[in-house]
Amino acid sequence: MFFGGAIGSMLRHVVHDWVASFYAYPTSEVISLGFINLLGSYFLGLVIRHPLFQSDYRQAFFATGLAGGFTTMSAVTIFIVAEDLTSDIAIMLFGAVITFAAGWHQGRRAARKKVAQ
């Protein structure tokens, strides 16, 4: 779990710098935060249901560690405290639930294919 979290945190930094390179400072933070959390939510949903990740060790490494280190919901909390719940943050939170559901559904489809074989 520790190594998954370390890798996820490093990936978050790399993705943040890449996304932020396209926008000016205040905008870059919100867009980068949204992109990272949407991508991480999809990955978490996929890992939860996909048969490849069903062992306890893989769940700990990929779901708790990697996805937990990659996403940054604590930064969302800081944005909410600093600026109240703006429409940008509300859309990102709603989008995170939608992308989690999309990943979960994709993992479920993979699980059904495995059972059918």
User: DSSP string covering 23-34, please?
Assistant: S-HHHHHHHHHH
Report how far apart the first and last C-alpha atoms of the chain are (Å, whole number): 31
Alpha-helix runs per DSSP H in 50-86: 56-58, 68-70, 73-83
Side-chain half-sphere CA neighbours of 55 within 13 A: 5
DSSP state of 22: T
Convert the pLDDT of each residue in 6-43 to its tens digit: 999 999 999 999 998 998 887 888 888 889 999 999 99
Question: What tokens does 5 get?
Answer: 């979290």
Question: Which pLDDT does position 104 carry in this prediction?
Answer: 95
Cα 110–113–117 angle (5° rounding)?
A: 140
Question: Which pLDDT does position 45 carry in this prediction?
Answer: 94
Convert the pLDDT of each residue in 61-81 to its tens digit: 999 999 989 998 777 888 788
Residue type for position 31 = I
- How many distinct structural domains can be found in the chain? 1
Domain coverage including residue 60: 2-116
